Chains A and B, each alone.
Chain A
Amino acid sequence: MTFIDKFPTEAKLVRWHFGVGFVALAIGGLFGLVQALYRTGHLRSLLPINAAQYYTVLTGHGVLLALVFTTFLICGFFVWAVTRSLDRPLSHPRLVWTGFISMVVGTTLAAITILNGFAPELPFGSANVLYTFYPPLQAHPAFYVGAALLIVGSWIVGADYFLTYRAWRADNPDKRIPLQTFMVLATFVMWYLSSAGVAVEVVAFLIPWSMGWISQVDPLLTRTLFWYFGHPVVYFWLLPAYLAWYTILPKLAGGKLFSDPLARVVFVLFVLLSTPVGFHHQYTDPGIAEGFKFIAMTNTFMLLLPSLLTAFTVVASLEHGARQRGGSGYIGWLRALPWGKPSFSAMALAGLVFAAGGFSGMINAGMNINYLIHNTIWVPGHFHLTVGTAFALTMMGVAYWLVPQITGKRLQHRTLAAIQPFVWVIGMTLMSNAMHRGGLAGLPRRTAKPLFRGEGAAPFDPVVGTISEMQLQIAIGGTLLFVSLALFLAVMVGTWLSRPGMGRLSVNGSIPSALSGPADSPRILDNLKVWTAIAVVLVIIAYGLPLYGMLADGVLAPGSPGFPV
């Protein structure tokens, strides 16, 4: 029985979350194309923006993709995962609608203030503050209110995952938590713990400051609160992709998950270690002692463990699937995988690209080597492999498989869908390798014209290649990514608008159980209260003293007035 027939209310919720997320993806992706062309100087004169508006485009791209697209997709995807794995409807669907509406209103408010940057003569504020909105750059209050509503909306949606689980637990007192629900709950424990930081930043400081109720804020304190949230948020993006790689991808490959207990161990490690790491984004910040940065670095490197475990388990599961399909040989089994099936190829390629992103992340995490690449274009080169591919391309793969199940319609334009993930990976390879190499040469990120001085590439001395060759690869790569995105959206819109009942659905939504099931693991793994408590202790160790130091000289001092942009 298809998901939509069994759980029509939940299917509708997933559809709406995905729909809004895809609109954000379309606009944010278009902005990405504009950026790639403008900053590299290719076709710059044909683009309808000036250099200052580049930062409007950049803010829109970051907010709509990193914050809006991700949050809507995750919240929708998790509605499916909880409902399917508990095999029962949501306990309070109205709560989820409330959260969804809060997120839509928040997104709309923030989007209006950002987009007004294109027509500053209109009275809708401005918010050219980028997605990190570091004070004392100041946006219109509606931008901050919008950000708060987006976060709070996700909290409300998340509350029903826990309420639904509680209802299930009452009926099933002795059962192990089904794996997908366990992953959802673990992700949201981490999300509540970490997004509290940005909520405090926005609600306690930035909203009152932008309204004029307080005259100054401490730039280092607010920045620290942002990064308290700003690194765990990448795990908020990544863990849903892991959920897909652990529970859906092995089935698409023709096999089963290798080990359910180790999947739980991985998620527990993320609950514990995702948050006390934010200072690794602040290695080059003055005002934070090196010792605190070192603690964050140690925790960050420990996070390699769950990701390397995931690499093992996913590859092992794929190999198992391939051998079930008749594959053989040391690497020959790779050929037996269903590369022509877009749901599979998107997720598998995303995992492969994530491995590359993991390696550049290890460089970022190194406290001293980070100085070579901090705030260079290396950094967006890195995170376009992680959130920009590991998350985004995985979710496209999920959509190819799930949208038919939540709409009851067959996937349309299958040829376009089959080539789309490969176009994405080619575009990303071109763009990201050039961004990494450019960063090593010192090319900054977040700049409309990196070669402003007109000396051409003179100050930049690349180790490999030339600056103009990198700029060309970024422009071509960005264009291919936009083409790939357009293909994806064409498939989605085509599927959504197609008539229902055009033949039987060719997907089946069942997921086989793992080769090694949950019965093999200690029950303590499922005790999220224990893991939450330990996570809080680790946060206090990592953040207690430095935050105390920042607050001790006055909550708002040293304080800066606002600089509206």
Chain B
Amino acid sequence: MTHVRIHRFEKLWLGAAFVLIVAFIATIVYGSLGPGVAMVGDDGGTVNPDNPTAADNFRDPGVYQADDDSYDVYVEARQFAFSPGTSEPIRVPADTNVTFHVTSGDVTHGFELVGTNVNTMVIPGQVAQLTVNFDEARTHHIVCHEYCGPAHHAMEGSIEVVPQSEFTPPQQAAADQSEVTDT
């Protein structure tokens, strides 16, 4: 039986490398369990890419109030616009839980709030779901960050986060809300 002879410095280096690796993994675990950094998973479910808004787990694009301090925002991405978001800004109140449900009606897109960690791929057939708490009233810039065709660079939008006192829930929210409370 032979043994690999490892230099003393190399052993030290190896040990330090292991510590680094464990530390990296620990920071991610802590981020998830401690501050609760939410990540995109598979809880959005699937939809028919040809007609995503008809699915049970999706709604007509728009902002809906779920309860006192949480809102749902359904966004449909299509070449080369977010609906809502591009032709009119998405308006949500600050200091509430805003859950985005984003899907695509055609090709793969991206949905990113510039300079934040609100960032997801938008894949046909899948619903990306992520919950955000905006702690300050300001406008965020949305970009499509995945190439989606010849006018990809023109695909963008905005989100207006307004103070809770200035926020009026959209009309359709109350009406639609009653339909889905039992789901």
Q: Which residues of A contact B (CB under 8 A)?
A: 51-52, 55, 58, 128, 130, 134, 136-137, 218-220, 223, 258-259, 261-262, 265, 282-290, 293-294, 297-298, 301-302, 304-305, 308-309, 312-313, 316, 362, 365-369, 371-372, 374-376, 441-442, 444-450, 452-453, 459-461, 516, 519-522, 549, 553, 557-561, 563, 565
Contact = CB atoms under 8 A, between A and B. Distances in A.
Interface string B1-15: 111111101100110
Interface string B139-183: 001011111111111101000000000000000000000000000
A360 to B, nearest CB: 14
24 contacts: A51-B150, A134-B108, A218-B125, A223-B123, A262-B4, A284-B40, A285-B126, A286-B42, A286-B128, A288-B41, A289-B42, A298-B25, A304-B20, A304-B21, A308-B13, A375-B119, A375-B145, A442-B114, A442-B116, A452-B154, A557-B125, A558-B48, A559-B49, A560-B124
B117 interface: yes
Contacts, number: 228
B145 A219 contact: no
B119 to A, nearest CB: 5
B85 interface: no
Nearest to B47: A558
Contacts of B112: 374-376, 442, 444
A220 B25 contact: no
A293 B143 CA distance: 24
In the complex, which of the residues A284, A293, A316, A449 has the most CB atoms of chain B within 10 Å of its own CB atom?
Answer: A284
A309 B107 CA distance: 42
Contacts of A549: 42
Interface residues of B, number: 70
B39 A563 contact: no
B60 interface: no
Nearest to A308: B17
B106 interface: yes
B138 to A, nearest CB: 11
In the complex, which of the residues B107, B122, B125, B128 has the most CB atoms of chain A within 10 Å of its own CB atom?
Answer: B125
Nearest to A445: B145
Contacts of A369: 31, 117
B31 A261 contact: no
Interface in B13-69: 13-14, 17-18, 20-21, 24-25, 27-28, 31-32, 37, 39-42, 44, 46-50
B166 to A, nearest CB: 22
B142 to A, nearest CB: 9
B98 interface: no
A410 to B, nearest CB: 39
B146 to A, nearest CB: 6
B83 interface: no
B107 A220 contact: no
A287 B24 contact: no
Contacts of B146: 134, 375, 446
B27 A293 contact: no
Nearest to B158: A459
B127 interface: yes
Contacts of B145: 374-376, 444-447
A297 B28 contact: yes
Contacts of A563: 79, 106-107, 149
A287 B113 CA distance: 21
A521 B37 CA distance: 45
A396 to B, nearest CB: 29
A436 to B, nearest CB: 14
Given A223-B108, A301-B24, A375-B146, A290 B41 contact: yes
Contacts of B20: 304, 308
A304 B17 contact: yes
Given A219-B108, A286-B40, A559-B125, A449 B153 contact: yes
A137 B148 contact: yes
B110 interface: yes
A520 B2 CA distance: 6
Contacts of B6: 259, 262
B54 to A, nearest CB: 13
A305 B123 contact: no
B34 to A, nearest CB: 11
Contact of A309 (B17, B32, B114, B129): B17
Contacts of B123: 219-220, 223, 285-287
A565 B149 contact: yes
In the complex, which of the residues A220, A446, A558 has the most CB atoms of chain B within 10 Å of its own CB atom?
Answer: A558
Nearest to A449: B153
B107 A137 contact: yes
Contacts of B147: 55, 58, 130, 137, 446-447
Interface string B85-125: 00000000000000000100011101011111111111111
A52 B108 contact: no
Contacts of A561: 50
Contacts of B10: 259, 262, 309, 312-313, 316
Contact of A367 (B39, B124, B143, B156): B39
Given A136-B107, A287-B42, A302-B21, A520 B4 contact: yes
B145 to A, nearest CB: 4
Contacts of A365: 24
Given A286-B120, A371-B39, A565 B25 contact: no
A136 B150 contact: no
A130 B108 CA distance: 13
Given A219-B49, A560-B125, A522 B21 contact: no
B108 A55 contact: no
Contacts of A560: 49-50, 106-107, 124-125
A298 to B, nearest CB: 6
A137 B108 contact: yes
B143 A520 contact: no
B64 to A, nearest CB: 19
Contact of B143 (A284, A286, A442): A442
Given A223-B123, A366-B24, A444 B110 contact: yes
Given A51-B150, A265-B4, A371 B119 contact: yes
Contacts of A304: 17, 20-21, 24
Given A282-B121, A444-B145, 20 more contacts: A51-B153, A137-B107, A137-B108, A220-B125, A262-B10, A285-B126, A286-B129, A287-B44, A297-B25, A304-B17, A305-B17, A369-B117, A372-B117, A375-B119, A450-B153, A452-B154, A558-B48, A560-B49, A563-B79, A563-B106
